Chains A and B, each alone.
Chain A
Amino acid sequence: MAKMLKPPSSARPHITRNEDLIFELSAPGKVGADLAPLDVPAASAAEELGAELVRGEIEGFPEVSELEVIRHFTRLSTWNYGVDTGLYPLGSCTMKYNPRVNEVVARLEGVATLHPYAPDELAQGCLRVLYETARCLAEITGMDAVSLQPAAGAQGELTGILMIRAHLADRGHPRKTILIPDSAHGTNPASVAISGYEVRNLKSNARGCLDLSELGRAMTEDVAGLMLTIPNTLGIFETDIRKIAELVHAKGGLLYMDGANMNALVGVAQPAAFGVDVMHLNLHKTFTTPHGGGGPGSGPVAVRKFLEPYLPSPLVAHGQDGRYFLDFDRAKSIGRVRSFCGNFGMAVRALAYILANGAEGLRQTTEDAVLNANYVRERLKDLFALPYDSPSLHECVFSDSRQAAKGVRTGDIAKRLIDYGFHPYTTSFPLIVPGAMMIEPTESASKAELDAFIEAMRSIVQEVEEDAELVLKAPHTTRVTRLDETAAARKPVLRWKP
């Protein structure tokens, strides 16, 4: 790139490279939205609220025009990488295409505007969407009943564990402990803690699966249940799952499945057949509702018949008269985990996705997701260590151990991938793989995109050999270079101040 002539001191590159905070763009007197004329007499705040309660100006609040808002956020958006930008092989996150029609139907007048306390008779359309979504998810999992109330996967976990507890308490004793493999996502133990259980971690075996003898030792009558991700965070299916379920059930415990990785199984296997009693799904992973830069998610919970009474209240029901209604008459329910009917707009999008695919499309989707992951695994296995070489499904996990010898770690390779135009894979997770590189291409990657990714990884491995500094200082092409996270945490600056 040609060197810019040295600019006068106050000048700097314009447009996307520098964008101040919205507060710094503010100038008194500007406004970016106007209101319809008031058609009732104006009210005096001092009179109606009491002078002592009336607030003055909100200090520091922005004042900008509509155009400046559009430019500001458009510029910010260009600093982001999304699924729309390119391959986003973030393991365990299932970054797949978010169909545009989902966004359109979720914004339809009526769908987007109905109030959650509208009487059921006036909400039949929205209730039908919820009912149909739950029915489809029940079929996909093979389970008997589904609640769409949990707002995200972690809340689904909490809901499920609370239901296990309520059921066991009904049987006489809630018990003390939940077993969780060491490969599990961090939300699992955190959700268990809120449910009043202790966590006992189980070591994985050499195949990357749950160790049956370890489970046999740990599974006592003090144990309420086992929380298992299937396929696990290595992308490996627990082939002993039936035996695992039997071991847990034999001692009176329940089997919880974290369905975060359901993209590997839709149309291929139903968790009900594994012996799962309760599970959650992530609509924002498997069912294409957008991740939105970190939410909103949605974490429906699916259960076998005997747990249905414990599902959060209300549940959408279908009456004999053909009308849908919210059923609050649920004496054994664990209660509410979120207001209203959960993230309804996410159910709309998930249903649109299921309808677009049908059974055949969903199965093809699963097959492509597994094919893509295995293709990447096959073509990278000569470059990176594969600590667990059991067959894997929708993702594969390498280790940086060979590159670490040169001082280059998984996080460095990830940063260098950014220079090649890819979003990195998941780094340093699962915890059982030191220097983990967790790759989940999903079905939304073309072969050309995968080949380009594989070439980039090869090229980076070569760079590690020839010029490790290049990798260690990456990324080089982004608007900002590596950011000092330690400084951010030591002296937190969490807001703008005038």
Chain B
Amino acid sequence: MRYLPLCPAERAAMLETMGRRSIQELFEHIPEPLRLARPLNLPGPMSEPEIVEFFRRAARESSPDYVSFLGAGAYSHYRPVAVDSLLSRGEFFTAYTPYQAEIAQGTLQAMFEFQTLMAQLTGMDVANASLYDGSTAATEGILMALRILRGRRVLVASSVHPEYRQVLRTYLQHQGVDIQELPFNGAGQLELGKLESEVTRGPACLLAQSPNFFGVLEPMAEISACVHGARGLVVVAVAEPLSLALVRPPSGADIVCGEAQSFGVAVSYGGPFVGFLAAKEQYVRQMPGRIVGETRDTKGRRGFVLTLATREQHIRREKATSNICTNQSLCALAATIYLSLLGKRGLKALAQQNLAKAHYAARELAAVPGVSLAFSGRFFNEFTVRVPGRAEELLAALRKEEIIGGLPLKRFYTELSDHLLIAATETARRADMDRMVRIYRQVLSANSPSRRERGQAKPSSEAVAR
């Protein structure tokens, strides 16, 4: 086996040192009936070229040539080659969590830089060294807010990513917490009137997303004022953190979290991604996850260590702020490298391109008879169109032309069965957007109701109506 550095003679010599006759002796204390008497039934062994071919085939069967307008929490952005080049340094990717700070300063300084970048982007005071992903970051954000408030009430905008809401419910199901979902209005935004009536019932932790799942920016100033007026806390998950290069950070938020995959992390069928969580300074001791702090060595030089460990499970066990142990260090490093490359100007220019592409696509699509923008709220690089009765048919027609035309929202919202969620980042080429618009025109001008019924994908039962 090519990964193993021991040769047979060394194995024999080591056994002899130990006074053992065979390797089996080292396993003999495992009761015999518990030992496996046969080889595992597994594929392989494969040589390296065979492994590469195995996964090339998997890649070919994963539609690498399709143009995709999918977003919904995972965004295709161009990744500068320097990102993977640096991530491939073995000193970074084969290192463990930096407990031995003197030989982990590389990871620690990079995490300190990540924390700074996230704090700067979100307009918050402090950030942690990352969480699993956006869904768990939103959940940890709410758990943190509940600890701060010693609260038992959670309000969640139903314009928050449906999977984030599902994860939140999974985590909260045995916490004795009351979760209330709040509807959205015609702007695609949280219904303020409903929020106002809910907060009169007492302090609550609110989870909102901005831009939200529909791509729409929420009126955070009004929302925050309303929640704070009732002595509650506001947790904002940012659906697309690139928006923060152009859009003011969520006004009035106490905790800002989200998914930082957009920053140099591959879409990779949904993971690994990287959650971030930033907050006001006074809440830092209630934060979950790893946090890196600056300190000095015995000679007075600047260095970095994992800090505030008394929040964490290895010290506090069942009383910890979270059960999380790993962060997503390498993905956070990718984000740090990516944001360093783009920098202040590059990130803003990139955000402007995203804004331009999405608004171009939205304008062109909305000009097609039978298509309208579903929501009147402002959006960044993602928007929702309404195509009464024709969503499935359109997606199927686009797919024939190797275009994945967006996410049918009926998967998550039974009332949005005519709606498609479409993202257009800087990677969306005008030619492809124009092609998509042409296909919309073709399909919608052939107005035959019988064809409408032939949509192939059956509705999924993932709708979160709970």
Contacts and interface: CB of A to CB of B under 8 A. Distances in A.
B175 interface: yes
B194 interface: no
Nearest to B312: A186
17 contacts: A22-B340, A48-B378, A61-B339, A61-B343, A111-B269, A122-B404, A128-B61, A154-B323, A162-B174, A293-B93, A295-B272, A328-B462, A341-B270, A343-B272, A346-B271, A371-B6, A418-B102
Contacts of B356: 38, 40-43
A289 to B, nearest CB: 9
Interface string B267-284: 111111110000000001
Given A114-B267, A393-B26, 4 more contacts: A35-B346, A116-B269, A296-B326, A359-B44
Interface string B52-96: 101111111111101010101110101010101110111111111
A123 B62 contact: yes
A183 interface: no
A294 B329 contact: yes
A473 B331 contact: no
B11 A371 contact: yes
A109 B357 CA distance: 24
B42 interface: yes
Contacts of B404: 115, 118-119, 122
A446 B14 CA distance: 11
Interface in B258-307: 259, 266-274, 284, 290-299, 301, 303-305, 307
A15 interface: no
Main secondary structure on A side of the interface with B: loop
A237 B293 contact: no
3 tightest A-B contacts by CB? A340-B270, A196-B174, A292-B330
A488 B307 contact: yes
A232 interface: no
B328 interface: yes
A17 B379 CA distance: 46
Contacts of A205: none
A77 B106 CA distance: 5
A125 B57 contact: yes
A291 B94 contact: yes
Contacts of A356: 1-3, 44-46, 48, 51
Given A41-B356, A74-B86, A488-B294, A125 B58 contact: yes
A165 B174 CA distance: 10
A494 B292 contact: yes
Nearest to A344: B269
Tell me which of B89, B100, B326 has the highest count of chain A C-beta atoms within 10 A of its own C-beta.
B326
A292 B95 CA distance: 6
Interface string A77-115: 111111111001010010101110101111111111111
A66 B272 CA distance: 25
Contacts of B23: 367, 370-371
A402 interface: no
Interface string A18-48: 0101110010011111111011111101001
Given A76-B110, A85-B90, A337-B170, A357 B44 contact: yes
A116 B378 contact: no
B372 to A, nearest CB: 18
B29 interface: yes
Interface stretch (A50-58, A213-221, A458-466): A50-58
B378 to A, nearest CB: 5
A206 interface: no
Given A38-B356, A361-B1, A268 B36 contact: yes
A284 B111 CA distance: 20
Nearest to B350: A35
A424 to B, nearest CB: 6
A32 B331 CA distance: 19
Interface string A433-454: 0000000000111110100000
B169 interface: yes
Interface size of B as a range = 35 or more
B60 A338 contact: no
Contact of B82 (A70, A115, A197, A293): A70
Given A290-B94, A368-B11, A77 B86 contact: yes
A388 to B, nearest CB: 13
B270 A104 contact: no
B132 interface: yes
A319 interface: no
Contacts of A296: 132, 271-272, 274, 326, 328-331
Contacts of B34: 241-242, 269, 273-274
B436 interface: no
A208 interface: no
A174 to B, nearest CB: 8
Interface string B24-48: 0011011101111001111111101
Contact of A483 (B55, B89, B295, B339): B295
A204 interface: no
Given A55-B249, A76-B109, A488-B305, A35 B270 contact: no
A293 B92 contact: yes
Interface in B337-358: 337, 339-350, 352-353, 355-357
B246 A49 contact: yes
A337 B131 CA distance: 13
B445 interface: no
Contacts of B327: 294-295
A42 B117 contact: no
A30 to B, nearest CB: 7
A407 interface: no
B105 A35 contact: no
Tell me which of B35, B95, B167, B293 has the highest count of chain A C-beta atoms within 10 A of its own C-beta.
B95
A4 interface: no
A307 interface: no
A201 B74 CA distance: 41
B113 interface: yes
Given A43-B359, A45-B352, A269-B30, A186 B317 contact: yes
Tell me which of B59, B107, B329 has the highest count of chain A C-beta atoms within 10 A of its own C-beta.
B59
Contacts of A492: 126, 284, 291, 293, 307-308
Given A101-B48, A297-B326, A192 B318 contact: yes
A334 B167 CA distance: 10
A134 B82 CA distance: 33
Contact of B136 (A22, A77, A90, A151): A151
Contacts of A336: 135, 163, 166-167, 170
A427 to B, nearest CB: 8
A480 B324 CA distance: 29
Contacts of A488: 293-295, 305, 307
B407 interface: yes
B272 to A, nearest CB: 3
Nearest to B47: A356
A424 B126 contact: no
A414 B101 CA distance: 12
